[in-house]
Amino acid sequence: MTEALIGFAAVLALVLLRMPIAFAMGLVGMLGYAHLNSSRGAISMVGRLIIDTSQNYGLSVVPLFILMGLFVNKGGLSRELYALSFAFLGHLRGGLAMATIAACAGFSAICGSSLATAATMSKVAMPQMRKYKYHDSLSTASIAAGGTLGILIPPSVILVIYGLLTETSIGKLFIAGVIPGAIGVLFYLLAVRWTVGRNPDAGPPGERTSWSGRMRAMRDVWAVLILFGLVFGGMYGVLNFWPINLTFSPTEAAGMGAAGAFIIAVARGMRFKDTLEALKETSRTTANLFSVLIGAWIFSNFVNLAGLPDALRALVTANDVSPGTVIMSILLVYIILGCVFESLSMMLLTVPIFFPLVTSLGYDPVWFGIVVVVVTEISLITPPVGLNVFVLKGVLGDVPTGTIFRGVTPFWIADLFRLALLAAVPAITLWLPQLVR
């Protein structure tokens, strides 16, 4: 156990020295494994992991969902989603911020990336909110917070990574994210209402849209509905009606989604240059994710060999610590780490340590996966690292970082309430997965 704790501290130190998390985990894991086993065994382990990862068919779901999200972005579907949300919510005080959150939720359902959602919606929603003289703090905060939904509402790349890392059903993880995602949207809307209740000038009401205009806005999102229905209807057998049998595995669903998004984007004027950019970006993002994943597996093998999970279980048993106290302690660790690490790195560094302990206490791995993703969502808007905040700063430029962080405070508090609710009532998360075979 001592070696594992030293290794964990070494990874933290290397990351703080700005070494990429993939190399930090891989280097410490390899050296630690060599210390406990042998240098030849460590080299063999690393080589085997690299080969197995490159040949893992299940991992092909990652680039396909990334490609799907990029094609959706190139097809301009975010504008239609925002127009629909604006048509129903824009006339309320704070309604444009609410419309932004609703549009982010819809875009997340066909994108799967928080950073992409935040960057895309900032270009669509920010001009409208400035037109109606919204305070920058509320405008940017609604985009940053709404963007966090991208890693929870399926398809979620981080849920795919968690499923592959822990050998948990990706299909069940996806459907388990639906209700927590909806609760997140509701709590964010309440955060907007609370903000404009304290300061009505922060979010003036917009124009009311007629019902005919709302119907036109609904017709404009047909492509989104078809794409979402194709991917998830096929994954969960909803499209099975005689004589057609459309049932997809997660990888096949990702392939169908990428193909469908490509057809829609081409129909909406996507150029050959845009297609090449999407393919290049997919390659870069996939390579980065796979590097981090390989590093995490190397570090996980070292941690398991050092006996840290077994030692934690023994420590909990010997001190008669209640399972609830263990979960609260783990969540507190995640919240603290979220002030330093970005979401994926934090999850990959800690899940190999906490997952065996949590499952040994009888908790469902699907529930734990959703809770981990929710708490990593919080890290996306937590100072000083909150990546969504810095994405907005990079896109907008003229809004101070401090203004954005002040604006996200009500949304951060709303996330803490949601986390407490999901941790206290696991049935909220597990109800839909229990309906799926």
Distance from CA of residue 2 to its chain's centroid? 32
**Residue 23, both tokens:** 């190399």
DSSP code for 177 = T
Tens digits of residue pLDDT in 56-92: 777 888 888 888 878 877 777 778 888 888 889 988 8
Are 140 and 96 in contact by the 8 Å Cβ rule? The answer is: no
Q: Is residue 171 part of a domain?
A: yes
**Separation between Cα atoms, residue 156 and residue 349, nearest integer Å:** 19
Tens digits of residue pLDDT in 142-171: 998 888 887 788 778 888 888 888 889 888
pLDDT at 135: 92
DSSP code for 399 = S
**Separation between Cα atoms, residue 435 and residue 37, nearest integer Å:** 45
Q: Is residue 22 part of a domain?
A: no
Q: Is residue 6 part of a domain?
A: no
Distance from CA of residue 434 to its chain's centroid? 22
pLDDT at 3: 83
Q: Is residue 46 part of a domain?
A: no
Q: What are phi and psi of 245, to 5 degrees?
A: -125, 95
Q: Is residue 310 part of a domain?
A: yes
Residue listed under structure tokens 């999102």: 221
**Separation between Cα atoms, residue 233 and residue 239, nearest integer Å:** 5
**Separation between Cα atoms, residue 384 and residue 190, nearest integer Å:** 25
Burial class of residue 265, CB neighbours in 10 A (0-12, 13-18, 19+): buried
E strands, 255-348, where?
none
**Separation between Cα atoms, residue 79 and residue 94, nearest integer Å:** 19
Residue 60 Cα distances to 250, 251, 280, angstroms: 10, 7, 16
Q: Phi/psi zone of residue 320: left (φ > 0), alpha (ψ -120 to 50 degrees), beta?
A: left
**Separation between Cα atoms, residue 325 and residue 357, nearest integer Å:** 13
Please, which residues bridge with residue 244 across strands?
241
DSSP code for 155 = S
Q: Is residue 96 part of a domain?
A: yes
pLDDT at 241: 59
**Which amino acid, one-letter code, is at 373?**
V
Tens digits of residue pLDDT in 11-67: 888 877 878 888 888 999 999 999 988 888 899 999 988 888 877 777 888 888 888
Are 231 and 223 in contact by the 8 Å Cβ rule? The answer is: no
Q: What angle do CA 110, 371, 195 make, to 5 degrees?
A: 75
Please, which residues bridge with residue 241 across strands?
244
- Taken in order 41, 46, 49, 51, the sign of the CA dihedral is negative
Domain that holds residue 306: 59-435
Q: What angle do CA 82, 88, 95 make, to 5 degrees?
A: 75
pTM of the model: 0.84
Q: Is residue 156 part of a domain?
A: yes
pLDDT at 270: 85
**Separation between Cα atoms, residue 100 and residue 323, nearest integer Å:** 38
Q: Is residue 43 part of a domain?
A: no
Q: What are phi and psi of 36, to 5 degrees?
A: -85, -25
pLDDT at 98: 93
Which residue stretches of the chain have pLDDT < 50?
A: none
Structurally, how many domains does the chain consist of? 1
Nearest in space to 101 (alpha carbons), one of 200, 189, 198, 228:
189
**Residue 359, both tokens:** 């499952």
Query: In 204-271, which residue ranges form alpha helices assigned H by DSSP?
Result: 211-219, 222-235, 250-267
pLDDT at 437: 61
